[in-house]
Amino acid sequence: MHSPRIAVSGLHRGENPQPGASIVRSLRRRFPNAFIVGLVYDALESGIYAEDGPDVVYPMPYPTSGATAFLQRLDSILEKSPVDYLIPTLDAEIELLVHLEEALTERGLRTYLPDKEMLSHRAKNHLPELAKTCGVAVPDTRPVYDIAEALAVAAECGYPLMVKGQYYDAKMVSTEQALFAAVFKLFSEWGAPAILQRCVRGPEFNALGLGDGEGGIVGLCTIRKTIISNQGKGLGGITVLDPRLDEFCTRLIRALRWRGPFEIEAMLDEARGEYVLIEINPRFPAWVDFPSMLGINFPAALVQMMDVDRKPAPLPRCAPGHFYVRHQVEVAGHIEQLAALSTSADFEALDMARSLEGAAPSAPTPFPIEMGDDGASPSNGSARRHAH
């Protein structure tokens, strides 16, 4: 398996980074000759333009467009750029793809994902039941389906509270007005329910791993977050090795019989002196390339698991005391690349090697840009603004 062909989504690495670009970097470390197809939802996903990024990029319809649209686009992509493996990295995608296992298999696409039941059991609104089953602590967590219910729950639990979307976004609120605004925003962006969770004081820990689908863990890397952004994102972390945290994770994965990548978010509750479960993400985190730098390559192990579909040898643990600090850099693109990915009337691949030739400083400016077949071209005097 020296040149695997792998499709990866979620390539943005801005303020709120997605895991895809890190996964691509990790895959390149192990498989320098891999052919990597980037599946993107926005032409400005920064990982598209990274030096070690994908070989070719295709725009995708949002998962909320439904299975038919998603599969149709996938079929067109497979015709142009066949791939053997698919690594989805966005929660909303995974929610869709767990219903499409058969359709993906028919297309010869290998994945390593949880089933519908596993995915549902780790959903934010089911955390209390899961925690009870495993004997782990969880902060008081309540799903709310309308504003009135949110206000009633807040009155019962007290402030401050964490307000979370089903898939993304988390915000701490301390007043009724802030709660109203946060819940309203989440409903409009992601729909109901929103999740209210009692705030816990203490340090935050994350565990990255791979479940074998039988209750076992193939690899685990645990960190303490050392730098946290205003949005609660870990901008830095240090590897730790605490048997109590390992046991905490083992219990959860055993109960879920989790299959595939996961990230467990926990806090050490200072008041209770014990770990509490904050959430479980059904994918690798954005810092997945950090253990790869230490020689523990989770994405490469995932490809191996997809390939042989059997339990590989356990990955070694990351020794405690290694840390990462997130380092943001600018990546350069060319308007021609943006045009190729922004054309909505017909989709086309953005071949990164070819497009870079066109973006060389000596090349003539590639105007006019063909805008597709919707009549909006420079020649007939109409234009439209892309919504980025």
Which chain residues interact with other proteins by CB under 8 A?
Answer: 203, 205, 223-224, 226, 238-245, 268, 273-274, 320-321
108, 114, 117, 119: CA torsion to nearest 10: -120
Which residues have CB under 8 Å from 283's CB, separation 6+? 19, 88, 89, 90, 91, 94, 260, 261, 262, 263
Q: Tokens 């892309």 belong to which residue?
A: 386
Query: CB 320 → other proteins: shortest distance, Å?
Result: 3
State the Cα–Cα distance between residues 254 and 143, nearest whole angstrom: 25
Query: CB 138 → other proteins: shortest distance, Å?
Result: 18
Query: CB 349 → other proteins: shortest distance, Å?
Result: 43
Task: Output 172 or 238, the one with its CB closest to other proteins.
Answer: 238
Which residues have CB under 8 Å from 6's CB, separation 6+? 27, 34, 35, 36, 37, 83, 84, 85, 86, 87, 303
Which residues have CB under 8 Å from 285's CB, separation 6+? 19, 206, 208, 263
Task: Output 241 or 356, the one with its CB closest to other proteins.
Answer: 241
Task: Output 31 or 287, the one with its CB closest to other proteins.
Answer: 287
Task: Output 20 or 285, the one with its CB closest to other proteins.
Answer: 285
State the Cα–Cα distance between residues 280 and 113, nearest whole angstrom: 14
Query: CB 232 → other proteins: shortest distance, Å?
Result: 17
Report how far apart, in Å, the C-alpha atoms of 58 and of each of 17, 40, 340, 359, 367 are. 19, 6, 9, 18, 22
Question: Is residue 227 a contact partner of residue 234, using CB atoms and an 8 Å limit?
Answer: yes
Q: Give the pairing of strands 234-239 and 217-228.
A: antiparallel
Task: Output 96 or 245, the one with its CB closest to other proteins.
Answer: 245
Task: Output 201 or 388, the one with its CB closest to other proteins.
Answer: 201
Query: CB 334 → other proteins: shortest distance, Å?
Result: 42
* Local structure of 301: helix, strand or coil: helix
Task: Output 164 or 224, the one with its CB closest to other proteins.
Answer: 224
Query: CB 276 → other proteins: shortest distance, Å?
Result: 12
Question: Is residue 146 a contact partner of residue 192, using CB atoms and an 8 Å limit?
Answer: yes
Question: Is residue 276 a contact partner of residue 6, using CB atoms and an 8 Å limit?
Answer: no
Task: Output 57 or 240, the one with its CB closest to other proteins.
Answer: 240
Query: CB 182 → other proteins: shortest distance, Å?
Result: 30
Task: Output 194 or 268, the one with its CB closest to other proteins.
Answer: 268
Query: CB 273 → other proteins: shortest distance, Å?
Result: 5
Residue 321 CA to its chain's centroid (Å): 26
Query: CB 202 → other proteins: shortest distance, Å?
Result: 10
Identity (one letter) of the amino acid at 181? A
Report how far apart, in Å, the C-alpha atoms of 241 and of each of 127, 159, 276, 308, 382 are. 24, 33, 17, 30, 61
